[in-house]
């Protein structure tokens, strides 16, 4: 019997109901009881199995990015970058790779409205011939903090109060008042683009600095950027209230309905590249995730296009069980020493093993679509049929060998063990520059949002003063306007 042919599936065309073990169920309506009205018998195995499966239908939601929607499609290379990377899926224009993409809100719970002010996740899984590549990012090109040590604290501050289970501004602004590097992220979050109209009309970014390696072994720093062909559109507060009040799943429905109608969402992929030898030429650390690279010096270069042309078949299988990890890369793409990225390399895979189990990469949505082989055996929920006798390496009874060597960055690492901050913090320059690109009415809305946030009655005079000091250092007029409206003097 072919063990792969008869997998339990709603697609299996059995003419009658069965138990999970395949036994026919002759009555799927009534419990087994003692007499017509008597107590239910524990020996009704089908009843117990049915209830036990139902009790376990929901898995723990993600700590972050719990609310999301997915779709499938393809990525097509449009511009040759083979001189930068030996990645097979980027080998030449015209090459197409199947993908699945998950969009999400970040902080709020699985059933929360999709109209809340929050970053949006933008995660792409490429099913390449050399294994999967997960490009896990957000709709903003920067992040709140630069060191993963603070990530749990940051999420706790952004999440609801553990006593009341209510998300409160005073907790958010208290925490970030200790981290002025967050200002740049707040120029995005409190800007008009803080609430995307839907998932189709938002940018995407890999956020982190990655490394491309070509066949000669030369490394190049890279940042990835997704730009929607239909443009970026957002909701202002009044629009968000109206849309969210009518449909708290508006973005999920928009994505599904658009694809079903043949209006396929599309994004162009661009990259910025930098020679690692030039990273000291800037007044900021290029590996600092709270910074953007200046496009006038490091311009966006086109690479390809992403088209989503198929809705997922099952929300649980291809959204809830869909798992992304920045650690999953392919030959020709590697990490950098970005401190946040280095932390996520461990954390994301670890959380998937906790949430889905140690064999989460066997689930169809997460499994590679190319041939693969290893000796990672057993463990909870291992459903891969295997009949080999050799589960070790090397062996003269098994001809499995090492793969062909591919290059990885060969930078020499040296230095003493120490815990320290990035030296070129430069926390205020880029936030100020971004604020000054806003039109006057957009600046006014940004100021109004900050006045409202800082007016929370539990925010102390000290915290208000600190924030006004920060914004004054980013842009003097911005700080003055906030101070005037809040009747607070900056602490500098």
Active site residue 373: no
Confidence label for 124 from pLDDT (cuts 50, 70 and 90): very high
Q: What is the pLDDT of residues 67-109, one digit of tens each?
A: 999 999 999 999 999 999 999 999 999 999 999 999 999 999 9
Confidence label for 12 from pLDDT (cuts 50, 70 and 90): low
Last residue of a domain, one of 362, 384, 413: 362
Please enumerate, by residue number, every residue annotated as part of a binding site.
348
pTM beyond 0.75: yes
Q: Is 449 in the same domain as 311?
A: no
Last residue of a domain, one of 362, 397, 422: 362
* Higher pLDDT pick, 433 / 12: 433
Active site residue 138: yes
Q: Is 111 in the same domain as 217?
A: yes
* Higher pLDDT pick, 364 / 374: 364
Among the listed residues 65, 108, 184, 225, the single catalytic one is 65
Whether residue 391 has pLDDT greater than 90: no
> How many secondary structure helices (H) and strands (E) does the chain include?
12, 10
Measure the CA–CA gap between 328 and 349, rounded to whole angstroms. 9
Last residue of a domain, one of 362, 389, 419: 362
Residue 293 lies in a domain: yes
Among the listed residues 132, 138, 319, 427, the single catalytic one is 138
Q: Is 446 in the same domain as 301?
A: no
How many domains does the chain contain in total?
Answer: 2
Q: Which domain holds residue 472?
A: 438-486
Query: Are the C-beta atoms of 325 and 349 separated by less than 8 Å?
Result: yes
Please enumerate, by residue number, every residue annotated as part of a binding site for heme.
348
Query: Are the C-beta atoms of 177 and 471 separated by less than 8 Å?
Result: no
pLDDT at 443: 98
What CATH number did the domain enclosing 101 receive?
A: 2.40.180.10
CB-based burial label for 306 (10 Å; 0-12, 13-18, 19+):
buried
Respond yes or no on whether the N-terminal peptide bond of residue 70 is cis (omega within 30° of 0).
no
Whether residue 455 has pLDDT greater than 50: yes
pLDDT at 1: 45
For 45-49, 122-126, 158-162, 259-263, which range has the lowest pLDDT when averaged over its residues?
A: 45-49
Residue 481 lies in a domain: yes
Q: What is the pLDDT of residues 237-280, one digit of tens each?
A: 999 999 999 999 999 999 999 999 999 999 999 999 999 999 99
């Amino acid at each position: 019997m072919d063990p792969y042919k008869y997998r339990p599936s709603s697609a299996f065309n059995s003419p009658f109901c069965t138990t999970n073990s395949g036994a026919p169920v002759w009555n799927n309506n009534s419990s087994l009881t003692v007499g017509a009205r008597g107590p239910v018998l524990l020996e009704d195995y089908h009843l117990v199995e049915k209830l036990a499966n139902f009790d376990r239908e929901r898995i723990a939601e993600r700590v972050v990015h719990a609310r999301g929607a997915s779709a499938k499609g393809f990525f097509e290379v449009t511009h040759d970058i083979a001189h930068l990377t030996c990645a097979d899926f980027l080998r030449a224009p015209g090459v197409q790779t199947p993908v699945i993409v998950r969009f999400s809100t970040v902080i709020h719970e699985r059933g929360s409205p999709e109209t809340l002010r929050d970053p949006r996740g933008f995660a792409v899984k490429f099913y390449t011939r050399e294994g999967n590549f997960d490009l896990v990012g957000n709709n903003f090109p920067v992040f709140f903090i630069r060191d993963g040590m603070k990530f749990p604290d940051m999420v706790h501050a952004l999440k609801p109060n553990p006593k009341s289970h209510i998300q409160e501004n005073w907790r958010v602004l208290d925490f970030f008042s200790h981290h002025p590097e967050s200002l740049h992220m707040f120029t995005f979050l409190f800007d008009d683009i803080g609430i995307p109209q839907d998932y189709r009309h938002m940018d995407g970014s890999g956020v982190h600095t990655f490394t491309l390696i070509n066949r000669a072994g030369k490394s190049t720093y890279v940042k990835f950027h997704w730009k929607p062909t239909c443009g970026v559109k957002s909701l202002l507060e009044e629009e968000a209230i109206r849309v969210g009040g009518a449909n708290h799943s508006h973005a999920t429905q928009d994505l599904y309905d658009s694809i079903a109608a043949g209006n396929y969402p599309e994004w162009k992929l661009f990259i910025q590249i930098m020679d690692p030898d030039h990273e000291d030429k800037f007044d900021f650390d290029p590996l600092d995730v709270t910074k953007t690279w200046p496009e006038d010096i490091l311009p966006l270069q086109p690479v390809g296009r992403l088209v989503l042309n198929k809705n997922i078949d099952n929300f649980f299988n291809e959204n809830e069980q869909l798992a992304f990890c920045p650690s999953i890369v392919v030959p020709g793409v590697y990490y950098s020493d970005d401190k946040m990225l280095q932390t996520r390399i461990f954390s994301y895979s670890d959380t998937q093993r906790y949430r889905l189990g140690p064999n989460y990469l066997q689930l169809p949505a997460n499994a590679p679509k190319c041939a693969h082989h290893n000796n990672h055996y057993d463990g909870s929920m291992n459903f891969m049929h295997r009949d080999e006798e050799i589960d070790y390496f090397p062996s003269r009874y098994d001809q499995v060998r090492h793969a062909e060597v591919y290059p990885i960055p060969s930078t020499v690492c040296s230095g003493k063990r120490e815990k320290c901050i990035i030296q070129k913090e430069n926390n205020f320059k880029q936030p100020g520059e971004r604020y000054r690109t806003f039109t006057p009415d957009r600046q006014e809305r940004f100021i109004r949002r900050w006045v409202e946030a800082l007016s929370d009655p539990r925010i102390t005079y000290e915290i208000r003063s600190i924030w006004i000091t920060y914004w004054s250092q980013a842009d003097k007029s911005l700080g003055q306007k906030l101070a005037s409206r809040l009747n607070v003097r900056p602490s500098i």
